[in-house]
Amino acid sequence: MTTYLFAYGFLKTRFHGNRKTETPEIKAELITNGFYPGKMFRVNVYPGVVYDPECGQKVKGEIFKLENAEEMLHVLDRYENALPLVLLDPDYERRMRTIETPSGPLDCWVYEYLKAVNPATEIKSGEF
Could you give the number of structural domains in the chain?
1
Smallest CA-to-CA distance from 122 within 39, 53, 12, 46 is with 39
Question: What does the pLDDT look like over 48-93, one tens digit per residue?
Answer: 999 999 999 999 999 999 999 999 999 999 999 999 999 999 999 9
> What is the rounded distance in angstroms from the CA atom of residue 97 to the CA atom of residue 44?
24
H/E element, 76: helix 69-80
Q: Is residue 126 part of a domain?
A: no
Segments of the chain assigned E as strands: 4-7, 28-42, 47-51, 58-66, 82-83, 92-99, 106-113
Q: Is residue 60 part of a domain?
A: yes
> What is the rounded distance in angstroms from the CA atom of residue 55 to the CA atom of residue 53?
6
Predicted TM-score (pTM) of this structure: 0.95
The boundaries of the domain holding residue 55 are 4-121
* Residues linked to residue 63 through DSSP beta bridges, in sequence order: 6, 32
Contact 118, 109 (CB under 8 A): no
Mean pLDDT of the chain: 96
CATH value at residue 96: 3.10.490.10
